[in-house]
Structure 1
Amino acid sequence: MSTLQSLLATHRAGHNVGLYSVCCSNEQVLRAAMHVALRHDSVLLIEATSNQVDQFGGYTGMTPPQYRDYVQALAAEEGFPHARLVLGGDHLGPNAWQKKPAAEAMAHARTLIEAYVAAGFHKIHLDCSMSCADDPVPLPDAIVAARSAELALIAERTAADHGLPPPVYVIGTEVPVPGGEASLADGLQVTTPAAAAQTLAIHQRAFDTPALHAAWQRVIAMVVQPGVDFDHSSVHEYDPAAAGALADFLEQQPRIVFEAHSTDYQRESGLHALVRDHFAILKVGPAATFAYREALFALAAIESALLPAAQCSQLPQVLEQVMLALPAPWQGHYHGDEATLRLLRSFAFSDRCRYYWGEPALAAAVQTLFTNLQQHAPPLVLLSQYLPEQYRAVREGQLQNTPQALVQHRIGLCLDEYARACTRNQAGARPRVNG
């Protein structure tokens, strides 16, 4: 039994514990995540999404082996134990190629799965829920399940060929949009127990072959919609009453838990309630890079108060210039007049500026900002003004007054909420579940 299986078995035995998954490639976010996991003595699950990392490099420019090496190098620098680090692949399937015919998209998906598993990614989210160019819309569950089983077979063979532990799997057809919804104006529909039961049954039939019998026993979770999501400017909060029937349904199933996507920006009380209600895997991504951007903008305000304009990084202005010069990651998602677009580019909860931090001009601005504030440490009065929580930690002697430490602390406050929800859940208990 793998570390993840053991932890989720503890949840199924009636303990309010869970697993948070950091879906990100940002260096400062990953370093902060390692600090949080060390403080809470927890497993750290880091996941790359199929649009971030693929066999062609994704938007990060990294293939799965390169991403693995990158994360492991950061872990070595931070003194994070290798045994407590687990890598996962999120939305693995034809997602990046859904505008192509299904045969072509699935060919790419097969190569994608092989690359991830061969690189040692242990937790595999099989996501074939999207329609490709010549598919019906919506895609029938039977096709989703058949494609997922096809990819699972490749994952099984790849792990065996490379002498790696067999992967664990996440399945599901009601998969929230990666990175949040475009709008929550029409509300959210919580997955019904009947739909969850159908998804589970159809996938079980698709895996009911000699080659995949063992793999089905390693399906640890199913993605459903618990009624949580966010768009550019609002958050749909978790309502335990609305998801109660789903939680009841899961208690009748052996082994599995629910995986909750798009939990970013939920209140901590909501995260605790989600884990209690068997959404025992919580995914977070944009909220962490949103905190990163908040910290950088605060540091830029401190910098501008300390130094002549000509010496400053002008980071917010550089971000705006880069996003205008390279509009593809936001242009089809943000809508409104120019003032609205300008606000969304920098401040939207969907945080599409996260795609830009690797751009040379922006990376140079961040480096200038850090160098300036390393040479001119932020005075306490400016920390109090722009980073009050970090100000208190510096005053208490708990935090160094360096730009990197301040940024990571701000991100860590976000991730701490997930760690507490998964390790010290205070939301009360449901009855002991079966399995």
Structure 2
Amino acid sequence: MTVPRRRGPTAPRGTVGAAPFDPSAHRRGPGFRRDRITALGYTSLAAYAYCLYALAPFLTLLRRDLDFSYLVMSLHSTTFAAGSVLSGLFFTQALRRLGRHRLFWLSVLGTACGVVLLAIGSTVAFTLAATALLGVTGPMLQTSSLALLSVHHSAHRDRALVEANAAASLAAVLAPALIGSLGGTDAGWRAGLTLPVAVFAVLFLLGRGRPLPGRGPAADAVRPGRLPGRFWLRSAALGAAAGIEFGTVFYGAPLLVSRLGLGVSQAASLMTLFAVGILTGRTAGSRLVADQGRAPRLLTGSLLLTAAGLGVLWSSHALVLSCGALLVAGAGVANLFPLSFSHAIAAAPDRSDLAAARNQLVVNSAIMAAPLALGALSDRVGVSAAFAVQAVLIVAALLLVTVDRTGTRGGTGTRGGTGKPGGTGAPGDTGCEVLPVDGSGD
């Protein structure tokens, strides 16, 4: 049964109503506006993305200098992801106790400290400890930023998250290029981790004394209740997408070394092409996703493009072909995370903080499992054969997305979603109205 959409002051705060889709409602609704909150969210995500994408070439070079195995290299990414899992488990409790403002800035501080400790570490034990700290606070910052943007731009969630990840991609392009290029200089590749610390310091200076929405305890920011089954289906697809992306991030360079016989520093630098592909894909995606109905099809197309790029990368022994494959794979991977993340939240738009935290938990579990599986298999059968894990993840993601689209076409309702028969449930559908749960329109 379709519930008429309620408008006006009598609608309960934070509720979601549903109505048959009316295309003209998009034209009547408020336009997308980038303001201070938007800029803060974009910049913080970019700084964290730099840390995340710097980690893979950093560990590749660290493995060369400290002479440890692929499994120990993967243990760093697993430690990072284990901290991230803890971050996802306790995000909602931290949000209730601290509020958005304090949680955000404590996450900035912790991430900056983790980066500094990682940069000065000279033993495996020390770098593992630094990675664990970064794993807890970095994803907490990412989740805080994504949840803030999701609530602040509820009617344009797809566009805000794709643009935010496009900004993050700029940093992702810079990270491997800078770390790799510093590998042969007097400054050393460790100096590449000073850039995000400087950005975090600037963020603090600019944001000091300007409270974010939900400055106090945010007991009302996380609505109680179960997340719907469709959310978990979409979140599982998000987890597969994260495994695809970070399996490639961490093991793309070792694959290039194995297939092409490149040096470690050269292979780490070439991974910049993967990040360039991601940036290109997200720039294009920010335009394509303006049409809300394209999001599910764009997700399927992105998976197929990723499969083509990684397939060529895995089978190629030619440098030029491998470089092109990295670009194509990056363009395919580009929109998997933001669209899957946003699509999952659309299944429970009235509980976006809780949905964002659970999404992050799934993502970080995938980041922990995929590189660990690749590392363990690489030590046994070689990097090239182990890369088949990526094919398994792509097939799994395609199946999950297909099941979700088939169920939606069949008119399956989604509790907490749009409730629109036959609708996609894509973020921004005008079949639902999402009010900011903190009551702030800043």
Same fold (TM over 0.5): no
Q: As a proportion of its length, which structure holds more helix? A: 2
State the TM-score, normalized to the length of structure 1.
0.24
State the TM-score, normalized to the length of structure 2.
0.24
